[in-house]
Amino acid sequence: MTTLLDRTSFGAAANLVCRECGATYDLGPGNACEQCFGPLEIGYDDSLLAQVTRESIEAGPRTMWRYGGLLPVAPVVDLQVGCTRLVRADNLARELGMKSVWVKDDSGNPTHSFKDRVVAVACATALEHGYTTLACSSTGNLANAVAARAAAEGIEAAVLVPADLEPEKLVATAVYGATIFAVNGSYDDCSRLSVELSFELDWAFVNVELRAYYAEGSKTLAFEIAEQLGWEFPDAVVAPIASGAMYSKLHKGFGELLELGLVEGERPRVFGGQAEGCAPVATAFADGARVKPVRPNTIARSIAIGSPADGDLAVATAVDSGGSIYSVPEDEIPENIKLLAETTGVWGETAPATALGALREAVRRGELGEEDRVVLLVTGDGLKTPALVADRLEPVFVEPDADLILERLGVAV
């Protein structure tokens, strides 16, 4: 489905551009350059981007679409995606020996993860091209977002997920009526099948032929952080890394704000975390080498991508921003979930637990210090992975007698 459509349907987007060789293509589905097979990115019309001001943004809706002038599509059905809370985390900061830490809590999105952002952009593109089935390969959160978005738009959804995925994430996809293909294999097997099926089926695979559009949705995290801090940048942002797309788009989003004069100063350093059992990007960063695929063996299922599509770009982003990427030990992930919850009141899943692990490591190494202003991304809700902290449940069983409770508390009756 490559029919060119009304140019205004694509916001400020002008074309598709190869990240490797710079070749350009008309707007439409496609994820690889025909000349060098490099990944495609969105090219923008600078004259249209220049029309975006702080005032035009602030006059927009209290959703991610307030930044529509910086995105490659027109808005779709508004599910109130974005404009999630930025929480001042003073207790966590004290625990880390810092003064200023914020938590960007994207669990407040409709399906409780940042994936609602990228799917909103991908779905808008799919609808413009007449697709009637939205599809993806997923470790869980993306499947939830695709299924919910398709339901809201009145189209079909089909997702490919590892068969042993957390049941909470499977139910949170099934409830929207999506067709779930539970693959006896890893996420990387699901991803390979998505690519193969994209050539055979008239489905809009959001993270295959619509990936260039899809990934741009992550920039809105950067835009919101800057606006919520009073149009200022933090010194650093810490995020989990799976495919590497969101991590690199954060950096790009901050850069666009600078180029347009919407924010002044230095772009934040971007730090990333991966679980030790699936850390191809962290390993490549440490070794100064290209990313080599690995076989995932981690409890952090939501970021268990052994062959990350944008892994090398993530490494380059860390270097360019002055940040780092760390591997977080598996046994620290549940402890980080608990630490985040008990110091901030925000219950994140395994992905933000790896980001917190990376933040702790950066502080331990002296790369982030007491005076640095840091934003930690919570990309998914802890309710999706409750088993990892079930040991925290130790209720005090009592009879329905207040005196007995007071006695247990050592309060004189």
pLDDT of residue 413: 67
* pLDDT tens by residue, 97-126: 999 999 999 999 999 999 999 999 999 999
How many domains are there within the chain?
2
* Residue 372 and residue 298 share a domain: yes
* Residue 267 and residue 249 share a domain: yes
pLDDT of residue 268: 98
Does residue 13 lie in a domain region? yes
CA distance 333 to 352: 9
Cβ(336)–Cβ(357) below 8 Å = yes
Output the six-digit token pair for 191: 């991803």
Q: Higher pLDDT residue, 7 or 398? A: 398
- pLDDT at residue 46 is higher than 50: yes
Confidence of residue 3 (pLDDT cuts 50, 70, 90): very low
* Residue 251 and residue 106 share a domain: yes
pLDDT of residue 77: 67
* pLDDT tens by residue, 364-381: 999 999 999 999 999 999
Closest CA to 150 of 205, 212, 105: 205
Confidence of residue 9 (pLDDT cuts 50, 70, 90): low
pLDDT of residue 120: 95
* Residue 122 and residue 106 share a domain: no
pLDDT of residue 6: 42
* Residue 287 and residue 168 share a domain: no
Averaged pLDDT score across all residues of the chain: 94
The mean pLDDT of 243-258, rounded to a whole number, is: 98
Does residue 2 lie in a domain region? no
Domain boundary among 196, 214, 232: 214
* pLDDT tens by residue, 148-196: 999 999 999 999 999 999 999 999 999 999 999 999 999 999 999 999 9
Query: In whole angstroms, how far apart are CA 398 and each of 320, 390, 410?
Result: 58, 21, 14
Closest CA to 281 of 248, 325, 240: 325
Question: What angle (nearest 5°) sits at the alpha carbon of residue 403, between those of residues 401 and 404?
Answer: 70
Does residue 402 lie in a domain region? no
* Residue 264 and residue 159 share a domain: no
Does residue 287 lie in a domain region? yes
Domain boundary among 214, 246, 272: 214
User: Domain range holding 125?
Assistant: 7-48+115-214
Say which CATH number the domain at 263 has: 3.40.50.1100
